[in-house]
Amino acid sequence: MIRSCLVCSIPLPENGVLEHLPYGYRFAFDPERGRLWVVCSNCRRWSLVPLEDRWEAIEELERAARDRGRLLSQTDTIALVKVGPLDVVRVGNASRTEEAWWRYGRELVRRRTSYGRLTVAAGAASAAVVAGGWATGGISFFGAWWLWSQAPDGIKRGARWLRFGSAAWRGRERCAKCGYEFTDVSFKERQNLVLLPDSEQPGNVVLGARCPRCQDLAEGGLRLKDRAAERTIQRVLAYHHFDGASEQRVRSATRLIEEAGSARDLTRILLRDGRRMGDLQRTGAIALEISANESSEQRALEMEVAELEAVWRKEEELAAIIDDELTDVPLLETFRRRVLKKG
Ligand SMILES: [Zn+2]
Ligand SMILES: [Zn+2]
């Protein structure tokens, strides 16, 4: 049993999750070759677990990753899976346990619940004002009715403003045609914003707006790209869906993503030759918000998983030497068969 890092000797913290791998929070394993490493959170180096300790541990890890794991990112060779507080690198093709974009879908459903609470509170507060005002003759029946119907919206607007402010983007960009200087994009104009596929970087989205001076959109107007576009689109969609979405809506939206193939494919299909934000249907817009968040998070994870793959290649070379030198081949074969049979 490895209790401390074999490279820097720092003791590994107890995880309280795995019976056969009680120490450490990051593991890498290869069920096919029967390898198992504990990854040190201090020096980030991989310690190869002695063969006699691997048997049950790999089985337990495989089971945990399959039943409770959340797939974060994967390449053809390795997958990064989150199992509770543990980060697990699994070598080989992972079964797609749960799609990562579900995380953001849940966030939308949660938003709806808290928004519901907000409007109930607002309704109760305005009911008190209406009842009080009407009883004392302070407001007319019509005034009371109007206040009653407007109150939740007023609260929504206030809460939304507190969270987002009034501008989705601030900066300095010039219209390529007439030189008009754009300094902000307000949320109020969001329906007229245009989303276009980036011709230079496939998968990326460009955010466009018509120029208020020369009225051009095709050759002039505002053009936000890369991170600026990504951040602004995320903000505009989150603002637009401030009251969240029902679980059913999120399910339809995620089904759209599923049918498209991936978050990026959905964005590409949805925006084919550019789309006015106001023309997007609700399910499409929700799917786009999920995709926008998924894509930016995914990019960071893809970099991490690519680095991990490079580390794994080095460690695997070493492990192959250690395993073959220290054990006779029949034992290793028995071990492989045992793991594979259950995997
Ligand atoms: Zn270490
Ligand atoms: Zn212009």
Please report the pLDDT score of residue 328 as a whole number: 60
Q: Which of 2-16, 220-234, 291-305 has the weakest average pLDDT?
A: 291-305
Residue 289 and residue 255: Cα distance in Å, rounded? 14
- On the question of pLDDT at 161 being above 70, the answer is yes
Please report the pLDDT score of residue 294 as a whole number: 76
Residue 41 and residue 57: Cα distance in Å, rounded? 19
Please report the pLDDT score of residue 186 as a whole number: 94
Q: Which of 54-58, 65-69, 337-341 has the weakest average pLDDT?
A: 337-341
Reported as a single tens digit per residue, the pLDDT across 24-58 is: 999 999 988 889 999 998 888 999 998 888 888 99
Distance from residue 186's CA to the centre of ligand 1 (Å): 49
Q: Classify residue 166 by its DSSP letter.
A: S
Q: Which of 2-11, 46-55, 112-121, 211-220 has the weakest average pLDDT?
A: 112-121
Burial class of residue 27 in the structure, from the number of CB atoms within 10 Å of its CB (0-12 exposed, 13-18 middle, 19+ buried): buried
pLDDT, the chain, mean: 82
Residue 86 and residue 94: Cα distance in Å, rounded? 16
Check if the beta carbon of residue 60 is closer than 8 Å to that of residue 90: no
Reported as a single tens digit per residue, the pLDDT across 300-336 is: 777 888 888 889 999 998 888 888 766 565 666 666 6
Please report the pLDDT score of residue 100 as a whole number: 47
**Cα angle, residue 98 at apex, residues 338 and 96 outer, rounded to 5°:** 50
Output 296 or 82, whichever has higher pLDDT. Answer: 82
pLDDT band at 343 (very low <50, low <70, confident <90, very high): very low
Q: Which ligand is nearest to the CA of 39?
A: 1
Domain boundaries, the chain: 26-98+300-342, 102-109+154-296
Sign, CA dihedral 256-257-261-265, equals positive
Distance from residue 64's CA to the centre of ligand 1 (Å): 24
Distance from residue 83's CA to the centre of ligand 1 (Å): 21
Reported as a single tens digit per residue, the pLDDT across 252-284 is: 888 888 788 877 888 888 888 889 998 888 888
- On the question of pLDDT at 98 being above 50, the answer is no
Please report the pLDDT score of residue 141 as a whole number: 58
Please report the pLDDT score of residue 52 as a whole number: 81
Distance from residue 42's CA to the centre of ligand 1 (Å): 5
Q: Locate 202 and state its tokens.
A: 């496939």
Give the three-state DSSP class for 273.
coil
| Most confidently modeled range among 70-74, 154-158, 197-201, 334-338 | 197-201
Distance from residue 28's CA to the centre of ligand 1 (Å): 15
Please report the pLDDT score of residue 86 as a whole number: 94
Please report the pLDDT score of residue 124 as a whole number: 67
Distance from residue 172's CA to the centre of ligand 2 (Å): 14
Distance from residue 242's CA to the centre of ligand 2 (Å): 32
Output 55 or 20, whichever has higher pLDDT. Answer: 20
Check if the beta carbon of residue 234 is closer than 8 Å to that of residue 296: yes
Q: Classify residue 50 by its DSSP letter.
A: P
Distance from residue 39's CA to the centre of ligand 1 (Å): 8
Output 205 or 96, whichever has higher pLDDT. Answer: 205
Mean pLDDT of 112-117: 76
- On the question of pLDDT at 4 being above 70, the answer is yes
Residue 78: partners with Cβ closer than 8 Å, 6 or more residues away: 89, 90, 91, 92, 305, 308, 309, 312
Q: Which ligand is nearest to the CA of 5?
A: 1
Residue 68 and residue 63: Cα distance in Å, rounded? 8
Please report the pLDDT score of residue 95 as a whole number: 46
Please report the pLDDT score of residue 257 as a whole number: 82
Residue 223 and residue 267: Cα distance in Å, rounded? 18
Distance from residue 44's CA to the centre of ligand 1 (Å): 6
